[in-house]
Each structure stands twice: as structure tokens, then as C-alpha cells.
Amino acid sequence: MAEKKATGKGLAGVIALDTAICDIDGQKGILTYAGYDIADLASNCTFEEVTFLLWNGRLPEKNELGDLSLRLTSERTLPPMVIEMLRLMPEDANPMAALRTGISVFSLYDGEADDMTPEANMRKAIRLTARIPVLIAAIDRIRKGLDLVAPLDHGSTAFNFLYMLSGDRPGEAAEKTFDTCLVLHAEHGLNASTFAGRVIGATLSDMYSAITGAVGALKGPLHGGANIRVMEMLTDIDRSGADPVQYIDALLGRKERVMGFGHRVYKTVDPRATILRGMIDTLSTERGTRKWYEMSIEIMEVMKERKGLYANVDFFSASVYATLQISTDLFTPIFAMARITGWTAHLLEQWKENSLIRPRAAYKGPRGLKTDRS
């Protein structure tokens, strides 16, 4: 096959591999998982159903969904040494660094860590999907000096996470909205973290190594931290008592970037943002606080008017998590909690017909130099 040179920075426009997991049409604002439109999935499917879809290329039958749900709930308990390790971390440790370390430690207590059979890899994908929410909740409660809330042996991933985080059982709107957030963040093609994970997996390294690398990539503020920056902006507006429109106009006047708008892939509306906008409205009513929602709507409208830019998924997910009273620095770990399904799906796909991913770089340095030491 003839080599294809990258047409832009960051491998923009370069097709690196074939996949049947996800398709994105950035010009039309269409996102599909295994052929299903994201709006259809968000409205009609749970996170567990979408997890099965990403791993198997089809939606589950009722008995298959029941079996997966049972396997997920049975794997929610963390190895005791992982909890002990979390207690030794500094209270001000970055939650993404703690998550990355915890996932790496998982491998030391999994007898199948280096078993690369398809069956073992599926079992590891289930363990990671089940345990990462528990790990994130434990990280947050330990650093706050709170007792851990044991995971339930029933209930959805969304319900269980919100329960472990706060100790209170979430309401119906909270569970549904958070479940939808997980669906929307579960997969998004060959993004930076997914590509990083596939590159590691292509060396035939183990799943834990690949996922640790993916988490490391997601930790970067140009990838997973955008909704944190959105929340910092919303909080600054709230604390200062500024008018949201005037605040945004001032940012634009200083030629500063307004986070949560525009997207590397989408040239029109991010379909995930449209879904979240409607759900945060309902959630705000249940929680009795519409501050973040109303502020977000004002900013969204002024950005469309001033710059012709549309809100992306990070913009409204910030409002969702804030309304659920989730700490801002947990936003990116929650991203990983959802994306573990996409990451593992890509690894399972990679290993079906594995080939080492080894692109070349175009050399731009000097040539023909001599040492003059003869």
C-alpha cells in the first residue's frame, strides 16, 4: 500500500485503520455507534445496552442484557490493596492521576492480566467497566475524609455511581440524565485517547497497560478537560455576579477562547450537546436549581450570535455534573468512566486482526553533516 502523508498537523484527515464501532459525519453533525444514531440510543437505550452494543456490534437480547448486568454488578468490589493504596495518596492528588494509578494497580490483582485470549479480554473489559466507577467514588470520598459507600449488588451503573459518591439514592431524573451522559461519552471514534490505547494494544501489551495509556491521554486539557474549563467559567460568572452576556463579550474582546464551543470534528451542531440541553432542563427542575442551566443557555445564544459557534458536549455536561453537585475535578474521570466501554471495544477489535501500528515521520532536519573529526 502506498504511504499517505499527513495533510495537516495532528494527523488531520489521515485514515489510520478500519473500524465497525463508530462513525462520525462532522459536516452533518451525525454520530453513530455500530450503525445506530446517537439520539436514538440516548432516548431508548441504557448505558449497559450501549456497552453491549460497542463490544458486540449489536444490541442485546433481554437475557443477554440481564447476564451482562449481573456480571457487571458482581465485579464492583475493589481489591483491598487498591483501597489501601488510595488512602496513601496525597489529599490534593489529581483525580485523573489517582485513577490512572488505580487502573494500573488493578492489573497486579488480576490473574488474567496477561491472558490475551478473547474470553479473558472480555472478562477484563467487564471488570474495568464495573470497577472504574467504584474507584472514582472511592478516590473522592477518601480525599474528603468520608467513609466509603459500598457498591450495590443491583441497579444501573449510573444509579450506583451517584449513590456511592453522595451516599444518597438519586432521583429518577438524576439517574436518567447521568445514564445519558455515559451513553453520550461512551465512544467517539479514533480520538486521542482511543488511538493511544490502540497503539499500545497493537504491541500485544495487556489491556490494563493500554487503558492506563488511554487515561493518560485523556488527562490532557486539550482532550478530556474541556468541561472543567467550562465549569470554571460558569463559576467565575456566578461568583463575580457578572452578566453572562457581558462576560462573554469581554472574553471575545480580549480574543480569549470560550470553552465548550466548536469541535475538532464537528463543523455544525454537536448532536450530543442537543440531547444534553433538553435533559439538563428536566434535571434542573427536579433538583430545584436552574442557575447553571439558565446561565448556559444565555452563553450558548450569545456565542451563536457573536461567533456562529455551537455548544459541544462538554459545555452542557458541565452544567449536568454541577447540578448533580459533583466536584469539578471529577468531570474528566467521569469521562473515562464512560469511555472505558469505547476504549475496550477498540482493543477487542484491534486484537481480532492485530497489526503493529507503526507510522513514519517526514524528516525535516539537516542532511549531509560531517563531524570533521577525521
Provide CB contacts within 8 A for 190, sequence distance 6+: 16, 17, 19, 198
Q: Residue 223 — φ and ψ, nearest 5°?
A: -120, -70
Whole-number Å distance between alpha carbons of 249 and 328: 25
Task: Indicate if the pLDDT at residue 1 is higher than 80.
Answer: no
Residue 32 forms beta bridges with which residues? 23, 37
CA gap 331, 321 in Å, rounded:
7
Residue of 110, 206, 270, 314 with catalytic role: 314
pLDDT value, residue 281: 86
Active site residue 263: yes
pLDDT reading at 307 higher than 80? yes
188 Cβ neighbours under 8 A, 6+ residues apart: 22, 24, 31, 194, 339, 342
Q: State residue 252's pLDDT score.
A: 95
- Across 271-278, average pLDDT: 91
Strands 30-33 and 36-37: antiparallel
pLDDT of residue 9: 74
Q: What is the DSSP letter of 149?
A: P
Residue 261, amino acid: F
Domain locations in the chain as residue ranges: 22-170+186-214+343-352
Q: What is the mean pLDDT of the chain?
A: 93
Question: What DSSP assignment string belongs to 166-179?
Answer: HSSPPPHHHHHHHH
Angle between helix 271-287 and helix 291-307 axes, rounded to 10 deg:
150
Query: Residue 2: which pLDDT band, with cuts at 50, 70 and 90?
Result: very low
Q: Can you give the pTM of this predicted structure?
A: 0.93
Q: What is the mean predicted confidence (pLDDT) over 317-327?
A: 92
Distances, alpha carbon 18 to alpha carbons 190, 215, 340, 351, 353, in Å: 10, 23, 20, 13, 11
Backbone angles phi, psi at 10, to 5 degrees: 70, 25
In this predicted model, what pLDDT tens digit does every residue of 87-131 receive, in sequence order?
A: 999 999 999 999 999 999 999 999 999 999 999 999 999 999 999
Q: What is the mean pLDDT of the segment spanning 317-321?
A: 91
* 6 pLDDT higher than 60: no
Q: Which of 52, 9, 1 is nearest to 342 (CA)?
A: 52
Q: Does domain 22-170+186-214+343-352 have CATH number 1.10.580.10?
A: yes
Active site residue 314: yes
- 65-69, 355-359, 367-371: which is most confident: 65-69
Instruction: Tell me the mean pLDDT in the region 14-43.
Output: 94
> Rounded to an integer, what distance in angstroms lies between the CA atom of residue 86 and that of residue 242?
39
What is the b/e burial string over 282-315, where b = at least 16 CB atoms within 10 angstroms of the residue's CB?
ebbeebeeeebbebbbbbbebbeeeeeebbbbbb
Is residue 5 over pLDDT 70? no
User: Is pLDDT above 90 for 37?
Assistant: yes
Using alpha carbons only, give the angle 54, 58, 64 rounded to the nearest 5 degrees: 95
Residue 4: is its pLDDT beyond 70?
A: no
The predicted model gives 223-241 an average pLDDT of: 92
Per-residue model confidence as pLDDT tens digits over 41-82: 999 999 999 999 999 999 999 999 999 999 999 999 999 999
| CB-neighbour burial class of residue 77 (10 A; exposed 0-12, middle 13-18, buried 19+) | middle
* Catalytic residue selected from 188, 263, 270, 346: 263
The CA radius of gyration of the chain, in Å to the nearest whole number, is 21
Phi, psi torsion values for 238, nearest 5 degrees = -65, -45
Residue 265 confidence (pLDDT): 83
pLDDT of 323 > 60? The answer is yes
For 147-170, what is the mean pLDDT?
A: 96
